[in-house]
Amino acid sequence: MKIIQSRSFEKKVKRFKKQEKKILDKQIQKIIDNPSIGQEKKGDL
């Protein structure tokens, strides 16, 4: 699976605190492990 990060997302993540980045990484890993969880979003949210 290829994970793509948009520039705007990358800029926002840079402002996250260390703990917030860990939580984000855990959630991304959950999606990688099971891509069918949750609902797929498209376009600008």
Query: 10 Å Cβ neighbour count for 45?
Result: 4
Instruction: Kindly state whether residue 29 falls inside one of the protein's structural domains.
Output: yes
Residue 14 has pLDDT above 80, yes or no: yes
CB 37 within 8 A of CB 30: yes
Domain residues for 26?
Answer: 9-34
Q: What is the pLDDT of residue 7?
A: 93
Residue 30 counted as domain residue: yes
pLDDT > 70: percent of the chain: 96
pLDDT tens-place string over residues 20-29: 999 999 999 9
Q: How many domains, in total, are found in the chain?
A: 1
pTM greater than 0.85: no
User: Would residue 42 count as lying in a domain?
Assistant: no
- How far apart CA 29 and CA 25 sit, in angstroms, is 6
